[in-house]
């Protein structure tokens, strides 16, 4: 049996048909129902003329429909494409055209955007509308989601190939979004190796053995209930929150709110006895802590005794915030995963009694750090280099051979992915992450990593969040500029921020300017929006 998400999930559905697979609000579907619903949608895809390698855009908020449409694409050997629900007309046209999308599944609240660009995308042959409000039917030729499922018998199961392509579009924070391509066999095998140890299971050597070991553990009471708090349209949400847990037969719970509602997060975690929760660093953790404390102070504390693991990826998760979480929830394991759409590089685990750290990760065995001339950075050398992720390396970027050649390279006979993260290697071999090379600020000839300054600024009393950018400057070339938001009732000025950073870092790294905003610009998944931050800084200076 091939390592392929659809094939493994089908065997799990056969082994545990009555176990709950997905929960969204009052909708609950068993693994058998989840499999059948995905198979009906897969039949609709094929009836519209889609086949192996056909691209299917998912322009959806979190919910069972996202997971079903995703699974359906895998079933018929298609390629589901994540589409950012914040995208407007031109961004939508770019991504769907770049992906050669032949189908689009979208929420009706986004239908006006789809209607405006429909005629500019002649390759689209199927439009499926998920009703999520009072508006529907505004896109000519679109079919309604539930009616489409009812109109089709489940697609018969088929054999698939491990060489089938899986694709995840990057967020476009360093340019236009790019489709990162993996082979299905590589990704499914790697995710199985990540997921099953969460259940204390040694992964079997072949895909056919997964369902049996999962069933045994789940029936003994060891199953996972995973809740992705991040959007499924981003890698953190779909990979860590859904796809990896589903390989363990998990129940995946999705939230109703379309922005972070900390009280909904905690109340849902309590009601559904969530075991694993996926967040994105401090930007999620801090408001969650405030809500937790407020409920406790009001005499209505949340019961989170079922929660075992809090997982974060994508942005900095500071030691101070980890410590605050463990002070309140001593039983938790905190997993800080270092990775990107282009590959996994390391992880950091914290729990009560194991001091947490910021941006220090245990390397995976296939991760290395190389200098510009491809020399390996040695532990304790103090040299800075670019992180290279080996092992499961993407095939490349879709329709971008030049960018692929720069990012995915072979050194000493081994193929690596270079997502752009800069790091040093500590004496104990751990990675000390410095930041993304594309965001480095060159000020007066000194290279400054924004993330290091941001974490220092966020330790200044009263500062809630911060992004650091370089603004053109006649004297320094680029002036380090902090874009900060302040806690309610706090009185913080630029002088305090600059002085606070200088207490922690070399003075040349301290901001030359500080601007204050109501909310630091971030994407829905919590990742930094440096482009908007830079524009805000330029406008306010």
Look at residue 23 in the predicted model and tell me its pLDDT: 98
Look at residue 355 in the predicted model and tell me its pLDDT: 82
Helix axes 5-15, 210-217, angle to 10 degrees: 40
- CATH architecture of structural domain 359-436: Roll (2.30)
- Between residues 124 and 133, the one the model is more confident about: 124
Closest among 450, 456, 440, 467 to 521, alpha carbons compared: 467
Q: What's CA 501's distance to the chain center, in Å?
A: 29
Look at residue 354 in the predicted model and tell me its pLDDT: 87
> For the segment 397-422, what is each residue's pLDDT rounded down to a tens digit?
999 999 999 999 999 999 999 988 88
8 A C-beta contact, residue 210 and residue 11: yes
Query: DSSP letter at 354?
Result: B
8 A C-beta contact, residue 354 and residue 336: no
Q: Which two tokens stand for residue 504?
A: 């922690």
Which residue spans within 95-238 are E strands per DSSP? 101-107, 126-130, 143-144, 165-169, 179-183, 225-228
CA dist 92 and 107 (Å) reads 14
Q: What's CA 237's distance to the chain center, in Å?
A: 4
8 A C-beta contact, residue 158 and residue 172: no
CA dist 497 and 514 (Å) reads 8
**Mean per-residue pLDDT of the chain:** 93
Checking if the pLDDT of 173 tops 60, the result is no
Can you tell me whether residue 309 is helix, strand or coil? strand
- Give Cβ neighbours of residue 107 (< 8 Å, ≥ 6 apart): 59, 60, 61, 85, 129, 130, 132
- Between residues 510 and 445, the one the model is more confident about: 510
Checking if the pLDDT of 256 tops 60, the result is yes
**Per-domain residue ranges for the chain?**
5-219, 359-436, 440-540
Q: Kindly state the average pLDDT of the residues 257-264.
A: 94
Checking if the pLDDT of 230 tops 60, the result is yes
> For the segment 272-318, what is each residue's pLDDT rounded down to a tens digit?
999 999 998 888 998 999 999 999 999 999 999 999 999 998 777 88
Checking if the pLDDT of 525 tops 80, the result is no
Checking if the pLDDT of 174 tops 60, the result is no
Look at residue 263 in the predicted model and tell me its pLDDT: 98
Q: pLDDT > 70: what percent of the chain?
A: 99
Checking if the pLDDT of 438 tops 90, the result is no
Helix axes 64-75, 31-47, angle to 10 degrees: 60
Look at residue 172 in the predicted model and tell me its pLDDT: 52
Checking if the pLDDT of 8 tops 60, the result is yes
Helix axes 5-15, 184-195, angle to 10 degrees: 50
pLDDT-derived band at 175 (thresholds 50, 70, 90) equals low
Strand partners, 349: 335
Checking if the pLDDT of 437 tops 80, the result is no
- Between residues 415 and 446, the one the model is more confident about: 415
Closest among 326, 317, 375 to 347, alpha carbons compared: 317
Burial label, 109 (beta-carbon count in 10 A; 0-12, 13-18, 19+)? middle
> For the segment 346-388, what is each residue's pLDDT rounded down to a tens digit?
888 999 988 888 878 888 889 999 999 999 999 999 999 999 9
Checking if the pLDDT of 143 tops 90, the result is yes
Angle at 113 between CA 108 and CA 117, to 5 degrees: 125
> For the segment 41-86, what is each residue's pLDDT rounded down to a tens digit?
999 999 999 999 999 999 999 999 999 999 999 999 999 999 999 8
CA dist 522 and 203 (Å) reads 37
176, 235, 394, 395, 529 from 179: Cα distances, Å = 10, 12, 10, 11, 20
Burial label, 329 (beta-carbon count in 10 A; 0-12, 13-18, 19+)? middle
Checking if the pLDDT of 447 tops 90, the result is no
β pairing state of 431-436 and 360-363: antiparallel
Q: What is the pTM of this model?
A: 0.87
- Between residues 173 and 511, the one the model is more confident about: 511
pLDDT-derived band at 177 (thresholds 50, 70, 90) equals confident
Closest among 518, 371, 521, 387 to 454, alpha carbons compared: 521
Burial label, 131 (beta-carbon count in 10 A; 0-12, 13-18, 19+)? middle
Positive or negative: CA dihedral 51, 231, 162, 71: negative
pLDDT-derived band at 137 (thresholds 50, 70, 90) equals confident
The domain made up of 440-540 has a fold known as GMP Synthetase; Chain A, domain 3 (3.30.300)
User: According to CATH, what is the number of the domain 5-219?
Assistant: 3.40.50.980
> For the segment 196-205, what is each residue's pLDDT rounded down to a tens digit?
988 888 899 8
Can you tell me whether residue 270 is helix, strand or coil? helix
* Angular region, 452: left φ>0, alpha ψ -120 to 50, beta rest: alpha
8 A C-beta contact, residue 364 and residue 345: yes
> For the segment 107-119, what is each residue's pLDDT rounded down to a tens digit?
999 999 999 999 9
């Amino acid at each position: 049996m091939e390592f392929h998400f659809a094939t493994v999930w089908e065997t799990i559905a056969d082994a545990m048909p009555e176990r709950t697979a997905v929960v969204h609000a009052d909708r609950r579907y068993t693994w058998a129902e989840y499999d059948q619903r995905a198979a009906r949608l897969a039949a609709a895809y094929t009836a519209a003329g889609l086949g192996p390698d056909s691209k299917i855009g998912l322009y959806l908020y979190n919910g069972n429909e996202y997971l079903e449409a995703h699974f359906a694409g895998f079933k018929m050997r298609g390629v589901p494409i994540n589409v950012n629900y914040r995208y407007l007309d031109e961004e939508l046209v770019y991504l769907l055209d770049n992906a050669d999308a032949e189908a689009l599944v979208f929420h009706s609240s986004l239908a006006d955007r789809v209607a405006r660009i429909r005629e500019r995308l002649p390759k689209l042959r199927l439009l499926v509308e998920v009703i999520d409000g009072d508006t529907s039917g505004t896109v000519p030729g679109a079919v309604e989601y539930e009616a489409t499922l009812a109109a089709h018998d489940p697609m018969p199961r088929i054999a698939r190939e491990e060489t089938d392509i899986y694709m995840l579009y990057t967020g476009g924070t360093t340019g236009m979004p790019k489709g990162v391509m993996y082979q299905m066999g590589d990704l499914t095998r790697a995710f199985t190796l990540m997921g099953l140890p969460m259940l204390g299971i040694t992964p079997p050597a072949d895909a056919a053995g997964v369902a049996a070991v999962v069933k045994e553990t789940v029936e003994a009471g060891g199953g996972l209930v995973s809740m992705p708090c991040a959007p499924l349209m981003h890698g953190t949400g779909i990979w860590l929150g859904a796809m990896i847990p589903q390989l363990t037969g998990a129940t995946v719970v999705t939230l109703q709110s379309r922005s972070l509602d900390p009280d909904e997060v905690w109340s849902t975690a309590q009601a559904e006895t969530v075991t694993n929760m996926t967040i994105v660093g401090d930007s999620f953790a801090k408001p969650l802590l405030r809500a937790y404390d407020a409920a406790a102070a009001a005499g209505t504390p949340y019961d989170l005794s079922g929660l075992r693991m809090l997982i974060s990826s994508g942005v900095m998760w500071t030691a101070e915030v980890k410590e605050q979480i463990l002070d309140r929830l001593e039983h938790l394991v905190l997993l800080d995963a270092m990775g990107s759409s282009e590959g996994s590089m390391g992880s950091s685990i914290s729990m009560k009694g194991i001091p947490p750290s910021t941006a220090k990760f245990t390397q995976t065995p296939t991760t290395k750090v190389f200098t510009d001339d491809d020399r390996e950075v040695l532990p304790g050398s103090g040299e800075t280099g670019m992180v290279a992720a080996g092992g499961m390396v993407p095939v490349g970027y879709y329709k971008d051979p030049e960018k692929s050649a720069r990012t995915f390279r072979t050194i000493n006979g081994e193929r690596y992915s270079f997502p752009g993260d800069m790091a040093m290697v500590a004496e104990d071999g751990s990675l000390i992450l410095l930041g993304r090379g594309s965001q480095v600020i060159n000020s007066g000839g000194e290279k400054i990593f924004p993330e290091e300054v941001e974490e220092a600024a966020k330790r200044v009393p009263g500062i809630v969040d911060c992004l650091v950018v370089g603004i053109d400057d006649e004297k320094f070339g680029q002036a380090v500029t902090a874009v900060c938001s302040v806690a309610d009732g706090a009185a913080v000025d630029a002088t305090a921020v600059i002085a606070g950073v200088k207490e922690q870092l070399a003075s040349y790294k301290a901001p030359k300017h500080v601007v204050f905003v109501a909310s630091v610009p971030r994407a829905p998944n919590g990742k930094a929006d440096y482009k908007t931050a830079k524009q805000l800084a330029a406008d306010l200076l």
